[in-house]
Amino acid sequence: MAILDILHFPDPRLRQRAVEIERVDDDLRALIDDMFATMYQAPGIGLAATQVNVHRRLLVIDISQEQNQPQVFINPEILERQGVEEMDEGCLSVPGFYERVQRAEQIRVRALNRDGETFELEADGLLAVCIQHEIDHLDGKLFVDYLSQLKRQRIRKKLEKQRRLGLDEAAERDRHAEPVI
Ligand code: K1U
Ligand code: ZN
């Protein structure tokens, strides 16, 4: 299994709309396994394929504390939404920031599982929030889009600065590294 690189806001690849998956095969199941390994290591409770630069409609979720209840959603569709609730959300593509977002309180979802079988699920609480957050990723949308423009810009600037500092540190390390002969 491989740990995949997670794209960070404001990377424009996070804005790409993912396409429907036509065949559930062993290659897709290998990607699913890599996505779980990446999500568990991060750690996170959800991951959409878009975040690992794969623009196909696939997401994985595990909201259990023990990381032992993996859930796979291929071509997920929200069939019904009810109520409104507000919860703090984080995102592995927007590391270090948690903000309150309003979403539907209860949803009914249809998707395919890792064997390509259709299932339907009613979700509420954290699971409902997480499914909506991950489906947004597949549509090129991020939780920061629900915030004010000012807050979004502040987050973008902080992450861009962190990225520049990270690149500077890496360049500095390279300058002091032993030459490879
Ligand atoms: O999509 C992602 O980037 C994953 C994101 C999912 C999510 C979290 C909270 C509300 C909505 C959606 C995360 O997993 S952020 C990390 C996180 O919430 C967490 C990490 C470790 C333990 C528990 C939670
Ligand atoms: Zn996210």
- 33-82 confidence digits (pLDDT tens): 999 999 999 999 999 999 999 999 999 999 999 999 999 999 999 999 99
Mutate to test the pocket of ligand 1, among 54, 91, 159 (most ligand atoms within 8 A of CB): 91
Sign of the CA dihedral with 143 first, then 148, 149, and 153 last: negative
Per-residue pLDDT at 169: 83
- If you count DSSP H runs as helices and E runs as strands, how many of each does the chain have, helices first? 3, 5
For residue 172, the surrounding DSSP H or E stretch is: helix 149-176
Residue 92 alpha carbon, nearest atom of ligand 1: 3
Cβ–Cβ under 8 Å, residues 106 and 124: yes
Q: Is the CB of 38 under 6 A from ligand 1?
A: no
Q: How far apart are CA 82 and CA 105, in angstroms?
A: 6
Q: Where are the beta strands (DSSP E) in 23-160?
A: 46-48, 58-61, 71-89, 99-112, 118-124
CB atoms within 5 A of ion ligand 2 belong to 91
**Of residues 30 and 170, which shows the higher confidence score?**
30
Q: Known catalytic residue: 134?
A: yes
Q: Is the CB of 62 under 6 A from ligand 1?
A: no
- Confidence label for 181 from pLDDT (cuts 50, 70 and 90): low
| pTM of the complete model beyond 0.85 | yes
Per-residue pLDDT at 180: 63
pLDDT digit string (tens) for 131-180? 999 999 999 999 999 999 999 999 999 999 999 998 888 778 877 877 76
Per-residue pLDDT at 9: 97
